[in-house]
Amino acid sequence: MADIRDRAREYLNVLPPLGGQINSDGQTAGLFTKLTGHTQAGLQKNWDGGGIMTTCNEFVGFYARALGAKEYLGRFDIEVYLKKHGKGDAWVPATGGARPKYGDIFRPKSFHMGISLDFEGEMWNTAESGQGGPKSKRDIIKRKQTKYDPSKLQGWVDIEIYFGAAAPTSPFPEWLVGWWKVPWRGQTYYYYFDRDRQAKYTLTMPSNTSQPPLRADDTGSVTLEPNNSVTIRWGATGSVEKFSSVPGSNEQMRGTWNATEQLTADKM
């Protein structure tokens, strides 16, 4: 099987060079429908009814399916969705200093999605649909070039990891796996870290600390940081917690909630 990024490049080569575009109407309408599943007539019906439909999600979803994805990746809750389907390792938060590679699916903080291409210095080349809408009276797929600003991104799907072509960059530390007790604002929270780089919490004390929770109040993605540090981004609330192990101990951690309130965690 060809390299997944080579396959991504082959699929995306159908897009015209920077400055060109594929419209939902006119001569490119057939190709637009092939890449998104939508027609100009269907879009127009939505707009005539007061809708604002565009096809950024569908363009991403059709692309991922063409590469062999079992899950439909054209969705705004992509980070949480990946965790639920055991693909959490493929999600790369934009806070870690890495950059998306060719073919990776990115999710901005705004309600949008697209596909990363490559970089020219600080300029980021992408492929995006949803570049039109009711005001344009057509939807548009095109290549774009913008200055890279990770502060505007939630993160992206690393397609090598998603499709199993690459292993996670580092093993999950065994000392972190299991239950931790975290007091906060007069309440005790019970966190469970698993090897799929997920954290789950519950307000119910576990009766068996060798087993994961049967249900969780929230699930978060876990990113490993240098010096025995981890970052949790909770799916439902979006809160970010950062922990580091206490020097000389792998059974105590100290951290912060949203960079404002202090947290402690003790291994159970």
At residue 174, the pLDDT reads 87
At residue 198, the pLDDT reads 87
At residue 264, the pLDDT reads 97
- Among 161, 127, 160, 159, residue whose Cα is nearest residue 144: 127
- Start-to-end Cα distance in the chain: 45
For the chain, residues with pLDDT lower than 70 are 1-2, 165-170
CB-based burial label for 4 (10 Å; 0-12, 13-18, 19+): buried
At residue 167, the pLDDT reads 46
Q: Bridge-partner residues for 182, per DSSP?
A: 189
At residue 165, the pLDDT reads 58
At residue 173, the pLDDT reads 86
At residue 150, the pLDDT reads 94
At residue 84, the pLDDT reads 87
- Among 42, 67, 68, residue whose Cα is nearest residue 55: 42
Please state, in angstroms and as integers, the Cα–Cα distance from residue 144 to each residue in 25, 115, 128, 130, 205, following that order.
20, 10, 7, 12, 50
Please state, in angstroms and as integers, the Cα–Cα distance from residue 217 to each residue in 6, 76, 199, following that order.
40, 21, 11
